[in-house]
Amino acid sequence: MSKVVVQCVGVSLDGYSAGPDQSLENPLGVGGPELMEWFFPTKTFIEMYGDGPGETGIDNDFAAASMSGKGAWILGRNMFGPVRGPWPDDNWKGWWGDEPSYHVPTFVLTHYARDPIEMKGGTTFYFVTDGIESALTQAKAAAGDRDIRIGGGPETIRQYLKAGLVDELHLVQRPVILGSGESLFEGLNMRELGYNVTRTVPGERGVHVIINKTA
């Protein structure tokens, strides 16, 4: 049965899942890459974007699982790019070059309409202007019996959590302090929303925490 999942979200010790001041030079925000330094050395990441064999192990097992079995993705606009307001033109097509790593229909939440963009490797970006429920309905239709992954950023994940639409959440607790940024759980009472920690697994560079909606 298809599930709605959030995976591989780095979280600092002080609760941030993105750094401040996202820009073209800092796509994860200032200090944000520290949250994903468990992911960058993995075989999964290196095969997508790097050069070399990459590391295997627990971190890579979670990384690999996050990229398999997906029938659709949902992204907030900030995850698609740093452009704000109306689209100035059609030049920006995401952070990932000509062949993004999604390889499935990918739905981008935005307030500004834009025609779909077909990329190499099977990724097509669809721009959804009528809210998170509409994006999820379209993603489920595209995914069939495969999972839908909410790719972020934190604000998009919060919206889906608040609505109780996420079945499983995979966080990676990192031993870093950002001091500022975007908090994943700001304004949410996860226990009241029916979410509970069901598993923790120490990895090479972070602790993997699995949270499921159990009520």
pLDDT digits (tens, 9 = 90+) for 128-140: 999 999 999 999 9
What pLDDT shows up at residue 26?
83
Summary mean pLDDT of the chain: 94
Domain span holding position 114: 4-213
| Structural domains counted in the chain | 1
CATH number at residue 122: 3.40.430.10
Distance of CA 140 to the CA centre of its chain: 17
Distance between CA atoms of residues 202 and 205, nearest Å: 8
- Per-residue pLDDT of 82-110, as tens digits, reads 888 999 888 889 888 899 999 999 999 99
Distance between CA atoms of residues 36 and 206, nearest Å: 9
pLDDT (tens place) for every residue of the chain, 215 residues total = 789 999 999 999 999 999 988 887 888 889 899 999 999 999 999 998 878 889 999 999 999 999 999 999 999 998 998 888 999 888 889 888 899 999 999 999 999 999 999 999 999 999 999 999 999 999 999 999 999 999 989 999 999 999 999 999 999 999 999 999 999 999 999 999 999 999 999 999 999 999 999 98
